[in-house]
């Protein structure tokens, strides 16, 4: 199957069955999403959603967070991964939001990445989710699922995956395709053992195609 056909079928399927996917992180404004995404690195959304209510209650805006010490922020986020570093990043991020961006979360990818704790992936999430900019954030799920389906080829880094997806996806689907791939990777195309038996994408998935063709070869050898 041609790669362009895999893209077409991928977009057709999810446009019909998941037209409005959303992030599973809880937030009510751009500042809260930025905090939640910084916290979510190497951690689960479920865990982040457990700590953010108290954190947002104590630090409801960048002004209050900028005045905090990392030690105090740590007490609210101690159960997430890398709490020491993340506490420092959050306070540094809030200070920069106030000092350089008038308290507003910027939409520009380069400006976003100036802030502590904000790498390319986090910047892409903010740009696409908050500002609806066609940006593709590549996390472990996006990386794995895009590769298995065959939307990418020989893409060995997140940046390579991002570039290939950006090149082939229709522009209006880029921001939501990020959610399609994450949710599919989280619940069906899981890392250790993909649940192909219940997956609706088998008809155009490259990984499935390869697994099935190996099974056919094996059964022919056994019966021969």
Is 121 in the active site?
yes
Binders of ligand SF4 in range 160-219 (CB under 6 A): 188-189, 194-196, 199, 201-202, 205, 207-208
List of residues 6+ apart from 180 with CB closer than 8 A:
10, 14, 18, 21
148 counts as binding ligand SF4 under rule CB under 6 A: yes
Minimum Å distance from CB 117 to ligand SF4?
A: 31
Check residue 97 for interaction with ligand SF4 (CB under 6 A).
no
**20 CB contacts (<8 Å, ≥6 apart)?**
176
Residue 168, CA distances (Å) to 22, 132, 159, 200, 208 in order: 22, 18, 14, 21, 21
Selected catalytic residue, list 46, 86, 108, 139 = 139
196 appears as a binding residue in the annotation: yes
User: How is residue 74 written in tokens?
Assistant: 């740590």
**43 annotated as a binding-site residue:** no
User: Cα(137)–Cα(208) distance, rounded to whole angstroms?
Assistant: 25
- Residue 206 and residue 10 in contact, taking contact as beta carbons nearer than 8 Å: no
Q: Is residue 5 annotated as part of the catalytic site, yes or no?
A: no
The distance of closest approach from Cβ of residue 152 to ligand SF4 in the complex, given in angstroms and rounded to an integer, is 13
Binding residues for [4Fe-4S] cluster: 189, 196, 199, 205
Q: What residues make contact with ligand SF4 under the rule CB under 6 A?
A: 148-149, 188-189, 194-196, 199, 201-202, 205, 207-208
Give the residue numbers annotated as catalytic, written as ranges: 121, 139
């Amino acid at each position: 199957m041609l790669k362009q056909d895999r893209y077409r079928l991928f977009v057709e399927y999810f446009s019909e069955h998941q037209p409005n996917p959303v992030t599973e992180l809880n937030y009510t404004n751009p500042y809260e999403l930025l905090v939640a995404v910084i916290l979510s690195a190497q951690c689960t959304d479920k865990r982040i959603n457990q700590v953010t209510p108290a954190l947002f209650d104590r630090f409801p805006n960048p002004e209050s967070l900028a005045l905090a010490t990392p030690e105090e922020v740590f007490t609210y986020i101690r159960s997430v991964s890398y709490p020491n570093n993340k506490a420092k990043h959050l306070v540094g991020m809030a200070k920069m939001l106030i000092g350089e961006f008038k308290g507003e979360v910027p939409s520009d990818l380069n400006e976003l990445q100036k802030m502590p704790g904000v790498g390319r992936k986090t910047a892409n999430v903010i740009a696409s989710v908050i500002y609806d900019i066609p940006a593709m954030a590549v996390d472990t799920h996006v990386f794995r699922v895009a590769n298995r389906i065959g939307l990418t080829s020989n893409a060995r880094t997140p940046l390579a995956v991002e570039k290939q997806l950006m090149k082939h996806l229709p522009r209006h689907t880029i921001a939501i395709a990020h959610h399609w791939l994450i949710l599919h990777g989280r619940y069906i195309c899981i890392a250790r053992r993909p649940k192909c038996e219940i997956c609706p994408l088998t008809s155009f998935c490259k990984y499935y195609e390869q697994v099935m063709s190996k099974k056919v070869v094996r059964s022919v050898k056994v019966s021969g």
